[in-house]
C-alpha cells in the first residue's frame, strides 16, 4: 500500500521529538505543502522530564494535538528504510510512504556498553520513554531503602540522582566528574544540592565501572558497590536508519549534511536535531539545539520548494539548566559556543527557572503550530569560527601525516 496526499509537495518528517515537531510546524508556512509526521508513539515525549516520570511526579508526555499544527498529519508508525532513489519510506506496518522532501529527525538514544560485563542485562538506561517505563517498574519492585546507583555524572545523571534521592531512596552517584560541562562554580552548586539530598558521590579521574551485577556494580579498582537498581546515564547514540538506508553518516551514525542541513547524498533529504551532523560538526545533543535545528530544517525545505537558496544554520547556546530534585537546581550561563561562563544561578531560584524552561519548551512547540514562523532562537557568529578551526585542524593533521610518509 502507498500513502500519499494529493497536494503539490509532500514533505515527510521522520521523528516526532522537539526537532521533528518544530520542523513539521514550520512547514505549514509553505503554500500547497502537505506535511506528514511519522512517529512510533501516539504522544509527544518530553525527554527533559523522563527523570521526573521515573520518580512519579510527571507523566513526561503531551498530546500531539497540543503541540502540532492543524496542517500536520500524524502517522503513528515506525520507519524501517528510506529509499532515496524512488523517494519512499518503508514503514514498520508494511505501508510505503512517498515523499517529495524528507526531514530526518529521528533523535538520539542511549544504551549500555557491550564492553562492560553485565551492563546489558542488569543496568537501566534513561533516555527514551520505554526505558523510563522499565526503570520506573523496576523501582516499584524494590523497597525505598534498597541501594540505587546512578552511573554517569552528566546532566541526566545529576537529575536522576537528585529526583530519586528526594523520594527518600539511598542513591550513590558514580562518575569521573560531576557536571563536566558546567563551570567550577556551577559544579560546586550541583554537588552541594546533591549532598543535601543525601546522595553519596564517588568520583575521580580513575573511576571506571568494570561490571554490573544484579545487586552491585564493580569498579576497575576492585571495589564493589551494592546496587539493587543500577541507572545508566552515560553515552548517547542515534538510531541506525540512515546508515541502514545507505546514506552517508558520521562515525556515530548521524546523517552527514552541509550547513543547510541538507544530506550530502540527496538534496531532497534534510536532517534536524540530534541525528544531524552538519559539516561533520554536530551541535551538542539537547533540546536547546534540536528545536532551532528543526525550524531551520523546515526553512531549508521551504527554500528548496520555492527555488531559493537555503541559509546555513545560525544558532547559539545560552546556558544549561539542571534540576536537583524539585526544590533545587543550577542554571549555568554559557557563551554562544556552549562554553560555560563564570556566572550561574543555584538553589530554589534555579529550580524555578528550570521548571519555566521545561514548560516554555512545550508552549513554544504549540505556538509554532498555531502560528508558523513565531518560533525564535539565539543566534551567533560562532559557527563560522568553528568551521574555520575545524578546517585548519584538518590541514594540520594532513600536513603531519604527509611528513610521516
Q: Residues 116-168: pLDDT tens digits?
A: 999 999 999 999 999 999 999 999 999 999 999 999 999 999 999 999 999 99
Q: Is the pLDDT of residue 5 over 50?
A: no
Amino acid 111: pLDDT: 78
User: What average pLDDT does this structure show over 72-90?
Assistant: 98
Mean pLDDT, range 355-362, rounded to an integer: 96
Beta strands in 245-292 (DSSP E): 255-257, 269-271, 276-278
User: Does pLDDT of 403 surpass 60?
Assistant: no
Q: Name which of 95, 98, 128, 94 is nearest 111 in CA terms.
A: 128
% of residues, the chain, pLDDT over 70:
93
Mean pLDDT within 103-118 = 92
pLDDT range class, residue 235, cuts 50, 70, 90: confident
C-alpha cell at 48: 527533559
Q: How far apart are the first and last CA of the chain?
A: 56
Higher pLDDT, 136 or 404: 136
- Looking at the chain, the number of H-run helices and the number of E-run strands are 11, 24
Q: Name which of 46, 104, 41, 47 is nearest 78 in CA terms.
A: 41
pLDDT above 50: residue 219: yes
The pLDDT of residue 397 is 47
In DSSP terms, which residues pair with 239 in a beta bridge?
A: none
Strand partners, 224: 218
Q: Are 368 and 375 in contact, with CB atoms under 8 Å apart?
A: yes
Q: What is the pLDDT of residue 8?
A: 86
Asked if 326 and 166 count as a contact pair (C-beta separation under 8 A), the reply is yes
For the chain, the average pLDDT equals: 93
- Tell me, what's the pLDDT at 80? 98
Over the stretch 302-349, which tens digit does the pLDDT of each residue have?
A: 999 999 999 999 999 999 999 999 999 999 999 999 999 999 999 999
The Cα 329–Cα 174 span in angstroms is 19
Rounded CA separation 99/87 (Å): 6
Mean pLDDT of 78-101: 98
85 phi and psi, to 5 degrees?
-65, -40
Residue 399: pLDDT band (50, 70, 90) is: very low
Report residue 112's pLDDT band, with 50, 70 and 90 as the boundaries: confident
Q: How far is the C-alpha of 358 from the C-alpha of 350, rounded, in Å? A: 12
Confidence of residue 380 (pLDDT cuts 50, 70, 90): confident
Element (H or E) spanning 291, and its range? helix 287-306
What's the pLDDT score for residue 3?
A: 42
Burial label, 350 (beta-carbon count in 10 A; 0-12, 13-18, 19+): buried
| Nearest CA among 197, 99, 104, 203 for reference residue 153 | 203
- pLDDT for the residue 387: 74
User: Binning pLDDT at 50, 70 and 90, where does residue 248 land?
Assistant: very high
Helix ranges restricted to H, 83-148:
119-122, 129-140
- Where residue 1 falls among pLDDT bands split at 50, 70, 90? very low
Amino acid at each position: 500500500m502507498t500513502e500519499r496526499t494529493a497536494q503539490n509537495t509532500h514533505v515527510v518528517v521522520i521523528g516526532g521529538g522537539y526537532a521533528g515537531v518544530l520542523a513539521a510546524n514550520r512547514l505549514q508556512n509553505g503554500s500547497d505543502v502537505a506535511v506528514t509526521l511519522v512517529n512510533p508513539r501516539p504522544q509527544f515525549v518530553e525527554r527533559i522530564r523522563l527523570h521526573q516520570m521515573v520518580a512519579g511526579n510527571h507523566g513526561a508526555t503531551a498530546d500531539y494535538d497540543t503541540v502540532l499544527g492543524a496542517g500536520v498529519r500524524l502517522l503513528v508508525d515506525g520507519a524501517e528504510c528510506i529509499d532515496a532513489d524512488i523517494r519512499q519510506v518503508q514503514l514498520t506496518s508494511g505501508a510505503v510512504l512517498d515523499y517529495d522532501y524528507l526531514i530526518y529527525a529521528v533523535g538520539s538514544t542511549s544504551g549500555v556498553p557491550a564492553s562492560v560485563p553485565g551492563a546489558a542485562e542488569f543496568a537501566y538506561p534513561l533516555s527514551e520513554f520505554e526505558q523510563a517505563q522499565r526503570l520506573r517498574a523496576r523501582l516499584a519492585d524494590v523497597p525505598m531503602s534498597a541501594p540505587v546507583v546512578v552511573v554517569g555524572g552528566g546532566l541526566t545523571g545529576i537529575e536522576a540522582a537528585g529526583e530519586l534521592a528526594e523520594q527518600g531512596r539511598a542513591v550513590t552517584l558514580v562518575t569521573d566528574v560531576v557536571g563536566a560541562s558546567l563551570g567550577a562554580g556551577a559544579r560546586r552548586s550541583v554537588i552541594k544540592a546533591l549532598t543535601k539530598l543525601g546522595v553519596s558521590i564517588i568520583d575521580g579521574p580513575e573511576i571506571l565501572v568494570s561490571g554490573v551485577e544484579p545487586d552491585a556494580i564493580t569498579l576497575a579498582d576492585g571495589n564493589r558497590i551494592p546496587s539493587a537498581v543500577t541507572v545508566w546515564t552515560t553515552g548517547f547514540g542515534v538510531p541506525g536508519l540512515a546508515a541502514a538506508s545507505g546514506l552517508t553518516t558520521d562515525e556515530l551514525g548521524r546523517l552527514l549534511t552541509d550547513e543547510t542541513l541538507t544530506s550530502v547524498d540527496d538534496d531532497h533529504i534534510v536532517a534536524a536535531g540530534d541525528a544531524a551532523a552538519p559539516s561533520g560538526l554536530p551541535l551538542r545533543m539537547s533540546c536547546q539545539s534540536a528545536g532551532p535545528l528543526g525550524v531551520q530544517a523546515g526553512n531549508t525545505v521551504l527554500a528548496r520548494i520555492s527555488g531559493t537558496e537555503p541559509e546555513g544554520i545560525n544558532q547559539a547556546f545560552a546556558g544549561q539548566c539542571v534540576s536537583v530534585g524539585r526544590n533545587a537546581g543550577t542554571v549555568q550561563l554559557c557563551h554562544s559556543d556552549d562554553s560555560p561562563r563564570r556566572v550561574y544561578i543555584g538553589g530554589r531560584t534555579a529550580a524555578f527557572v528550570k521548571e519555566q524552561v521545561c514548560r516554555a519548551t512545550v508552549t513554544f512547540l504549540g505556538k509554532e503550530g498555531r502560528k508558523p514562523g513565531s518560533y525564535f532562537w539565539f543566534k551567533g557568529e560562532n559557527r563560522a569560527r568553528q568551521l574555520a578551526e575545524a578546517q585548519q585542524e584538518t590541514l594540520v593533521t594532513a600536513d603531519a601525516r604527509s611528513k610521516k610518509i
